[in-house]
């Protein structure tokens, strides 16, 4: 079994003169990696402007969500933050660039807040969730909390675009985690 709770997955593309084909999810192959959740909802977003941030989001139990994220158009910087109570890596983060060219996916398990930043215009992101949207369980952390210290790939002159909700998210210090630590510390991707 794979030990890292957050995993960067490389998708094999089979190419020919027509283009390429890729299998982005296979329950049996994912189980070998320790990813045994059942996905029940797919989401697809379009962000028109570069440096749009969506997150840091999560759903609390009993509607907590595992997520499998990929960028199908453009480029994003995708981030997971450990918010599991008692974790030795609590508040730690990992991030990866997901692009339509590289086809990488990021698996983000329950107990991690998720966000992404678009790096160019007109980015489309698709992700699978292991539970359906439940507004009463919706939660988040401020995207640029200095206590977390995410190294966002921002240009000095960049204007960040946030939803009203994401501008008002609490800091990590103000958050009481409903997620228990499962014994697997966050490790580098």
- Tell me the pLDDT tens digit for each residue of 84-119: 999 999 999 999 999 999 999 999 999 999 999 999
As a whole number of angstroms, the distance between CA 97 and CA 70 comes to 10
What pLDDT score was predicted for residue 155? Answer: 85
What pLDDT score was predicted for residue 1? Answer: 41
pLDDT average, residue stretch 43-63? 98
pLDDT average, residue stretch 50-59? 98
Q: What is the pTM of this model?
A: 0.95
Instruction: Show which residues are catalytic.
Output: 57, 127
pLDDT average, residue stretch 140-153? 98
Residues of the chain with pLDDT > 90, as a percent, come to: 95
């Amino acid at each position: 079994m794979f030990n890292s709770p957050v995993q960067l997955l490389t998708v094999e593309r089979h190419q020919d003169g027509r283009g390429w084909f890729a299998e982005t999810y296979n329950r049996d192959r994912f189980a070998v990696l320790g990813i045994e959740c059942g996905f029940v909802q797919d989401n697809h977003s379009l962000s028109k402007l570069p440096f749009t941030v969506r997150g840091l989001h999560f759903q609390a139990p009993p509607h907590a969500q595992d997520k499998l994220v990929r960028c199908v158009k453009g480029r994003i910087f995708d981030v997971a933050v450990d918010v599991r109570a008692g974790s030795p890596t609590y508040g730690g983060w990992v991030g990866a660039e997901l692009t339509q060219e590289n086809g990488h996916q990021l698996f983000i398990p329950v107990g991690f807040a998720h966000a992404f930043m678009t790096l160019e215009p007109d980015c489309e992101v698709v992700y699978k969730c292991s539970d359906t949207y439940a507004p009463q369980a919706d939660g988040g952390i401020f995207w640029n909390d200095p206590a977390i210290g995410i190294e966002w790939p921002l240009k000095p002159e960049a204007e960040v675009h946030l939803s009203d909700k994401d501008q008002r998210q609490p800091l990590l210090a103000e958050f009481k985690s409903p997620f228990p630590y499962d014994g697997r510390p966050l490790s580098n991707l």
